[in-house]
């Protein structure tokens, strides 16, 4: 089956379904996949005026394999994503009336991501960075980040700390990541929940957000569901801990369904899920 996807697109759809007012900045190719992505985004109420159509490069595609346990492996051809320039982003920011939150994965050129983060900070927006696929990032970028959201594999790649003891190793990795620049770090760990680390004096504050127990069918969009939901809740003024609980619920629902964007829940579904879990 073919579905619209890509981390940025999935995170945008996740946020839109949960009530976020979403504008997407990106690039697709002048092809059927690009048409499908744009149509899917518009159907979710996402503003796509800043998604350029590149006549020379194909739309990015990913081949996703899901095993019997719902775990996935993904091969990506980035395509037009890597044609997104700093000038494209600057043009979008110049024309946007208001930006409260900038959410980015690492599926576009790093120099474009750095400029976007700087422009967001100047606009008074918070920057949520999902460092996926994992790369080593400059202090120049990380110091512009409000919330860094890696999974345990990305955190291990960025710090060199293998996260075997989830609680202890994740805490060490989060501390190291905080020292590199962001104001807070949330390391997502699948069925083990998420570790939240916030800068504070004299020492960082750590909170554990428990995962919800569900039967996973397909984990492909779990991280994107989490990031999109987190951004919406933070934009509504919730604390990191409150936002992470809501995001964990969104991710839990997503893994019980097949596909990436088809699995992403609505606001009503997440709220109903949380009511059931709270009253249980």
Six token digits for residue 142: 């990380």
Question: Would you say residue 164 has pLDDT above 90?
Answer: no
pTM above 0.85, yes or no: yes
User: Is 183 assigned a catalytic role?
Assistant: no
Tell me the CB-side half-sphere exposure of residue 110, using CA atoms within 13 A: 12
Distances in Å between the Cα of 112 and the Cα atoms of 105, 108, 119, 120, 147 are 12, 7, 11, 12, 18
pLDDT tens digits, one per residue of 104-126: 999 999 999 999 999 999 999 99
Q: How confident is the model at residue 279 (pLDDT cuts 50, 70, 90)?
A: low
pLDDT tens digits, one per residue of 257-275: 998 899 999 999 999 999 9
Q: How confident is the model at residue 65 (pLDDT cuts 50, 70, 90)?
A: confident
What pLDDT score does 199 carry? 95
Say yes or no: domain 7-279 is CATH 3.40.605.10: no
Per domain, the residue ranges of the chain are 7-279
**Cα 221 from Cα 10, distance rounded (Å):** 7
Catalytic residue among 31, 54, 146, 224: 224
pLDDT tens digits, one per residue of 38-60: 999 999 999 999 999 999 999 99
The pLDDT of 164-189, averaged and rounded, is 93
Contact 158/150 with Cβ under 8 angstroms?
A: yes
Share of the chain above pLDDT 70, in %: 99
């Amino acid at each position: 089956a073919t579905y619209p996807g890509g981390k940025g697109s999935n995170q945008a759809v996740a946020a839109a379904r949960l009530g976020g007012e979403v504008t997407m900045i990106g690039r697709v190719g002048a092809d059927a996949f690009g048409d499908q992505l744009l149509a899917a985004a518009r159907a979710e109420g996402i503003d796509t005026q800043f998604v350029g159509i590149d006549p020379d490069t194909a739309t990015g595609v990913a081949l996703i394999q899901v095993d019997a346990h719902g775990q996935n492996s993904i091969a990506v051809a980035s395509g037009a994503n890597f044609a997104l320039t700093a000038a494209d982003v600057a043009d979008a920011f110049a024309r946007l009336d208001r930006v409260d939150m900038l959410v980015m994965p690492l599926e576009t050129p790093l120099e474009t991501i750095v400029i976007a983060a700087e422009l967001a900070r100047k606009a008074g927006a918070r920057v949520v960075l999902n460092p996926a696929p994992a790369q080593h990032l400059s202090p120049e970028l990380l110091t512009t980040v409000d919330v860094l959201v890696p999974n345990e594999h990305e955190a291990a790649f960025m710090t060199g700390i293998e996260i075997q003891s989830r609680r202890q190793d994740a805490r060490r990795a989060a501390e190291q990541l905080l020292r590199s620049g962001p104001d807070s770090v949330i390391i997502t760990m699948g069925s083990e929940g998420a570790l939240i680390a916030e800068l504070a004096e004299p020492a960082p504050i750590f909170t554990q957000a428990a995962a919800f127990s569900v039967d996973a069918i397909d984990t492909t969009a779990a991280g994107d569901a989490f990031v999109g939901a987190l951004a919406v809740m933070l934009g509504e003024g919730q604390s990191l801990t409150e936002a992470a609980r809501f995001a964990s619920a969104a991710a839990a629902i997503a893994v019980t369904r097949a596909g990436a964007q088809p699995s992403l829940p609505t606001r009503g579904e997440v709220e109903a899920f949380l009511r059931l879990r709270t009253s249980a």
